[in-house]
Amino acid sequence: MLDFFSHIRDDLRVVEQEIAKVVQSRDSLLTQTSMHLLNAGGKRLRPAFALLAGRFYDCDKERLLPLAVALELIHMASLVHDDVVDASMTRRGIPTVKANWGNGISMHTGDYLFAKSLVLISTYKDPFIARVLADTSVKMCEGEIHQISTAYSANQTWRDYFYRIKRKTALLIAASCQLGAVAAGAPENEHRRLGRFGHHLGMAFQITDDILDMVADQRELGKPIGGDLRQGILTMPVIYSLEKSSQRERLRELVEIRDKTEAQVVEAIEIIKEAGGIHYAVAASQKYIAKAKKNLNQLPDRPVKEIFRQIADFVGIRRF
Amino acid sequence: MLDFFSHIRDDLRVVEQEIAKVVQSRDSLLTQTSMHLLNAGGKRLRPAFALLAGRFYDCDKERLLPLAVALELIHMASLVHDDVVDASMTRRGIPTVKANWGNGISMHTGDYLFAKSLVLISTYKDPFIARVLADTSVKMCEGEIHQISTAYSANQTWRDYFYRIKRKTALLIAASCQLGAVAAGAPENEHRRLGRFGHHLGMAFQITDDILDMVADQRELGKPIGGDLRQGILTMPVIYSLEKSSQRERLRELVEIRDKTEAQVVEAIEIIKEAGGIHYAVAASQKYIAKAKKNLNQLPDRPVKEIFRQIADFVGIRRF
């Protein structure tokens, strides 16, 4: 577990047990596929953010639990569905549900996890929580479809990029922070502030993900380097380099090849590094982190504020 | 439109317009795939049931609209996702989303329609509606997974069959009837009664579907005959015949063949007809219709009761 999560270690353990309990089905295959996914691990960032956001307020932990579990289920559902489209065979170092059971089972497992999250969310009387998560889910789909329909196209704009990463990543992290506060009874101006904190943190998180996909240690990352390029996903370092690199014509060619050889992936990454695409993305991520911290500063002074500050710092320097 | 829906013709037209409005996305591809599905038509049974159930009570039609639209979106979402698994290339006589745009886009279109339904449901203050639909969605996934994991297996029991059709079809029709009443402010004993009516009607509906898949006119059905057998789905006439037919060993062999020839499909249907599998299923469907009507009788006397009675009769004799 990440160090700064030690403060909520016990709560996260309860979340973990609760997910395992919630996904049990009368259908043994569904239990099996869900548990496969659960056992693959993960940082449980979204539950952690919700639990920590709740710490700004005095509230019974029990109130946060269904939300925390639901957030992870939504995230897990989106991962299984991504794997169907991506044709990924491993995630977090182990075979995907798709690799073991095929497309149909993967899709329905995702649907199942998502539906289970709704059961949990429906236990909250305040319809605001359901409303935010419904909107977020709609936009997450828009992000995924946008990613598919723009794949391998070197004509993407910055606007396309920001549209996509906001939907793919930032919105659910924003919702995690905001709704943790909502469930804990936060006043509106404060839960909105936590939502903005989460949004900026989420943008930084996705940009860092994009960077790691090009520079990380494959073992630490748990998947092959250059995956985004192979799938035709244009990330920040790529879009920057398509504008600025002296070899941008060659990069454009490489980006648009559908079945890239290993050598072509390496060549593309070299061009991007040389153009300063990685540095540019690191700086952009840092800017988002600064914005996140600015929002954090305006929240009530509680011990949890320091933990969130450490998390923000970590997102900028993480290596996996 | 079906005759007995003429009483709610205007309301159904509003539902249709509202679906078209709701699925509009900033992403033009999503709008396009959703509209493709919407334009393929459909009986809009679930919205109709919700609207009719609401007619038992004096309520503003506006209150029922989000629910009616949401029910159709959930149904449409499940159809697109079914097509991904079934490898179906046509539905309702036109190419499926999958055939035109591929698995990834189909899956995300389904996710999108489902998420849009949640946005609508979250406008209701009473969390009961969200709770029933969340439970229903979980069970619909269980039904789908069960169908995949038992495909082509001749060792299925009656229990498997009823487990599956309840989840695949009856629960959402039950929810449509019950929640239409809930949204209209019905007392608990009455909305539960409408739910039971819908459940029995839904079971009859699915059994009739199973029958039509073997005996219908292909043009009226809008898809090839014997589709269930081809996909390895064992329906009531099959399960009955596997028990009672003198040629049950041959039928067992045929059922388990994964790539059946046209001649094998025809042979299986002949064995089933000869064993009385179709007659048995017709009788079973009639029994459910009788149960549905029994529940209907105990509801308050309103003009809509007669319409629901006609619908129940129609489900037993429909040819498409």
DSSP characters for chain A?
--GGGGGGHHHHHHHHHHHHHHT--SSHHHHHHHHHHHHT----HHHHHHHHHHTTS---HHHHHHHHHHHHHHHHHHHHHHHHHHT--EETTEE-HHHHH-HHHHHHHHHHHHHHHHHHHTT-S-HHHHHHHHHHHHHHHHHHHHHHHTTT-TT--HHHHHHHHIIIIIHHHHHHHHHHHHHTT--HHHHHHHHHHHHHHHHHHHHHHHHHHHHS-HHHHTS-TTHHHHTT---HHHHHHHHH-TTHHHHHHHHH-SS--HHHHHHHHHHHHHHTHHHHHHHHHHHHHHHHHHHHHTS---HHHHHHHHHHHHHHH---
Dihedral angle, C-alpha B194, B200, B201, B204, nearest 10 °: 180
Q: What is the mean pLDDT of chain B?
A: 92
Calculate the alpha carbon distances from B217 to B221, B297, B317 in Å.
6, 34, 14
pLDDT at position A126 is 85
User: Which residue in chain B has the smallest CA separation from A135?
Assistant: B119
d(CA B275, nearest CA chain A) in Å: 31
**ipTM exceeds 0.85:** yes
Which residue bears the tokens 């959402």?
B172
Q: What is the mean pLDDT of residues A287-295?
A: 97
Which CATH number characterizes residue A210's domain? 1.10.600.10
CB contacts, 8 Å: A115 with chain B: 134, 137-138, 140-141
Tell me how far apart the alpha carbons of residues A170 and B136 are, in angstroms, rounded to a whole number.
Answer: 30
- What b-and-e string marks burial along B300-311, b requiring 16 or more CB atoms within 10 Å of the CB? eeeebbebbbeb
Which residue bears the tokens 């090849």?
A257
pLDDT at position B173 is 98
Model pLDDT for residues A52-71, shown as the tens digit of each residue:
999 999 888 899 999 999 99
Tell if the CB–CB gap between B145 and A112 is shorter than 8 Å: yes
User: What residues 63-122 of chain A have any CB closer than 8 A to a CB of chain B?
Assistant: 81, 84-85, 103-105, 107-109, 111-112, 114-116, 118-119, 121-122
**Strands A90-91 and A94-95: what pairing?**
antiparallel
User: Which residue in chain A has the smallest CA separation from B82?
Assistant: A104
Model pLDDT for residues B35-92, shown as the tens digit of each residue:
999 998 888 999 999 999 999 998 888 999 999 999 999 999 999 998 887 766 777 7
The total number of structural domains in chain B stands at 1
Q: B149 is in which domain, residue-wise?
A: 3-317
